[in-house]
């Protein structure tokens, strides 16, 4: 691994961070996380740098998430490298959210999982007509992390719960609606926007420049489904959510129930609890601490290895979840995912 996987260059008053693994859809490795953090340190200490812009190499997307194959192999081997990776990744997510200079994320194309973590915590988040934003973890036996439960818990109504459980990918307008993005800029204008940002001399000018290139996003889909989403996902349990979806009389809701039944039962129940708990935590840092507890437990559970095998490696799309049914996942099973880690706590939030 070398530094070519993340390119750093300063042009004018802007530091450009480019995730540079286009053949892997710029999936994040531990070395890439550390390199992005180094770039932020340099930008923070350089008074001539007014803003940071992060983008992805290639035409397919900013970042498809973490390097799932590596995580699978590590979990299967009983390793701990992924836990160390997540510690640094979650700390980077928190740093992005508190970065003292404008952090502009070009969320063009696919932005999923860890890609959301390095973009949606920024203060200037730009989507295009090609954007597909998602937290798809339940489909691989995992749970939304990188601050995803913090973001989704803050979405209007129960939209965040819907996205967390289904892993549905959304476009530009829906990303703005859900608070995952701020501005729509057509992809054909990104080059001009990036060039214009290099001349910005202060935070206010950065915002004005982005707004000058932005326009109204094409109509989204979620707003028209708010009624049944808010009603069905207000239920207390995953089982009741599915019952409400099936009994709603809405075709899209029934299809969503089928989607949920294909996900890991454990991941669904833990995800619902994680989003609900995140609503009552006082900061992103506290939520990241919670997510680290959950991720650490999920890493040792069978569904993550099996989910990645079925979806990414063998691609048979036929995971054998354990336990196999929602009824077999007890409240005690879910609670164990949130138990303190002792000396292994991430420790970003204030002490309890």
Give the residue numbers annotated as catalytic, written as ranges: 66, 114, 137, 145
Three-class SS state of 127: strand
Beta-carbon contacts of residue 317 (< 8 Å; ≥ 6 apart)? 310, 311
CA–CA separation, 8 and 38 (whole Å): 9
Beta-carbon contacts of residue 77 (< 8 Å; ≥ 6 apart)? none
99 neighbors 44 (Cβ within 8 angstroms): yes
CA–CA separation, 4 and 1 (whole Å): 8
CA–CA separation, 321 and 307 (whole Å): 8
In sequence order, what are the beta bridge partners of 219?
A: none
140 to each of 77, 88, 163, 297, 306, how far by Cα in Å?
18, 22, 15, 14, 7
Instruction: State the burial class of residue 41 (Cβ atoms within 10 Å of its Cβ: 0-12, 13-18, 19+).
Output: exposed
185 to each of 17, 73, 105, 181, 310, how far by Cα in Å?
19, 38, 12, 11, 36
Closest CA to 235 of 222, 219, 247: 247
CA angle 225, 229, 233 (to 5 degrees): 175
CA–CA separation, 242 and 275 (whole Å): 17
80 φ/ψ angles, rounded to the nearest 5 degrees? -135, 5
């Amino acid at each position: 691994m070398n530094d070519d996987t993340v390119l750093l260059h300063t042009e004018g008053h802007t530091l450009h961070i480019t995730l540079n693994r286009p053949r892997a859809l710029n999936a994040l490795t531990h070395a890439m996380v550390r390199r992005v953090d180094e770039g932020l340190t340099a930008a923070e200490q350089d008074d001539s740098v007014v803003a940071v812009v992060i983008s992805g190499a290639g035409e397919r997307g900013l970042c498809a998430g973490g390097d799932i194959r590596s995580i699978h192999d590590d979990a299967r081997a009983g390793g701990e490298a992924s836990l160390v990776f997540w510690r640094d990744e979650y700390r980077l997510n928190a740093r992005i959210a508190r970065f003292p200079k404008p952090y502009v994320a070009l969320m063009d194309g696919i932005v999923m999982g860890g890609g959301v973590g390095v973009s949606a915590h920024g203060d200037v988040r730009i989507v295009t007509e090609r954007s597909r934003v998602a937290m798809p973890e339940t489909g691989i036996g995992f749970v939304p992390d990188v601050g995803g439960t913090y973001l989704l818990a803050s979405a209007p109504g129960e939209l965040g719960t819907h996205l967390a459980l289904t892993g549905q990918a959304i476009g530009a307008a829906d990303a703005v609606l859900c608070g995952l993005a701020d501005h729509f800029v057509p992809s054909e204008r990104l080059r001009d926007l990036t060039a214009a940002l290099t001349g910005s001399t202060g935070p206010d000018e950065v915002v004005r420049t982005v707004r000058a290139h932005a326009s109204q996003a094409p109509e989204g889909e979620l707003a028209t489904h708010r009624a049944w989403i808010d009603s069905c996902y207000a239920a207390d349990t995953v089982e009741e959510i599915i019952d409400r979806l099936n009994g709603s009389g809405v075709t899209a809701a029934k299809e969503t129930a089928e989607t949920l039944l294909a996900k890991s039962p454990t991941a669904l129940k833990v995800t619902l609890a994680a989003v609900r708990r995140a609503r009552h935590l006082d900061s992103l840092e506290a939520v990241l601490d919670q997510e680290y507890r959950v991720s650490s437990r999920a890493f040792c559970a069978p569904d993550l290895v099996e989910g990645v095998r079925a979806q990414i490696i063998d691609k048979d799309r036929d995971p054998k979840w354990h336990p196999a049914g929602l009824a077999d996942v007890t409240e005690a099973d879910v609670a164990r995912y949130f138990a303190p880690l002792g000396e292994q706590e991430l420790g970003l939030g204030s002490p309890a």
